[in-house]
Amino acid sequence: QSVLTQPPSASGTPGQRVTISCSGSSSNIGTNYVYWYQQLPGTAPKLLIYRDNQRPSGVPDRFSGSKSGTSASLAISGLRSEDEADYYCAAWDDSLSGWVFGGGTKLTVL
């Protein structure tokens, strides 16, 4: 059971916009930044969004992050086949004094 809650799966067709939610609590998302990671099949995770809504250089602006209260969301617009991957949210948890991840969302591009 992960501390952060994500839907196990999401899907969309090419060109569509999809969102992935991440729910936490006051000790993690409610007080600390949220980060999103993309893990393509058979590869290591890659930082996708940092500090709730910032994109590292090289990440397309089709990817965006937002946060409200104890929940966060990752939005992917103009969906492409290469976006098919697992997506994880993460945040520091003040109560646990450690990093916590969501269980991951497997995105399928139909």
Residues contributing to the site for another protein (CB under 8 A): 2, 33, 35, 37, 39, 43-47, 50, 56, 86, 88, 90, 92, 96-104
- DSSP states along 80-110: -GGG-EEEEEEEEETTTTEEEEB--EEEEE-
Q: How far is the CB of 46 from another protein (least distance, A)?
A: 7
Q: Which is nearer to another protein, 46 or 77 (CB)?
A: 46
State the greatest distance between any 2 C-alpha atoms of the chain, in Å, as a whole number.
41
Q: Which is nearer to another protein, 53 or 77 (CB)?
A: 53
Distance CA 12, CA 56 (A): 24
Q: Which is nearer to another protein, 50 or 66 (CB)?
A: 50
